[in-house]
Amino acid sequence: MKGEKFMSLKTEKLKLGKVILSERIDELMSVDYFALMQIHDCLALHESCIWGELSEEDKQINDMALINDARIISSYNTDYGKISIITEDDRTITTICFTDEN
């Protein structure tokens, strides 16, 4: 069934490829352990296909991107501001940045 294939894709981990940090994220994580842990947790959610603070429509777009090998963008609120995590369509690069940087 089509829905069963979709559900099996959602239970698998998203391939992240090389993880790239924006300069601001890198600086923050290097000086603040709590920030490092929060951002790490957000990346784990993204990898588990939990898209964070997105509209239902954007979550559905990400779900379809799992099947269609399209770009995936998730968004999470942290104590340091809203971050975006972007995995490219070929799954070779994932970028973490503040939402105002992308």
- Res 13: pLDDT: 85
When pLDDT is cut at 50, 70 and 90, the band that residue 96 belongs to is very high
Q: What does pTM read for this prediction?
A: 0.88
- Share the mean pLDDT of the chain: 91
Q: What's the whole-number mean pLDDT along residues 4-13? A: 53
When pLDDT is cut at 50, 70 and 90, the band that residue 102 belongs to is confident
Q: Of 85, 89, 12, which is closest to residue 48 (Cα–Cα)?
A: 12
pLDDT per residue as tens digits for the range 41-86: 999 999 999 999 999 999 999 999 999 999 999 999 999 999 999 9
The residue behind tokens 């970028």 is 95
Q: What are the residue ranges spanned by the domains of the chain?
A: 2-101
Look up residue 8 and give its two tokens.
């099996």
Look up residue 13 and give its two tokens.
């981990």
The DSSP secondary-structure symbol of 99 reads: G
Q: What's the whole-number mean pLDDT along residues 93-99? A: 98
**Phi–psi pair at 62, nearest 5 degrees:** -65, -40
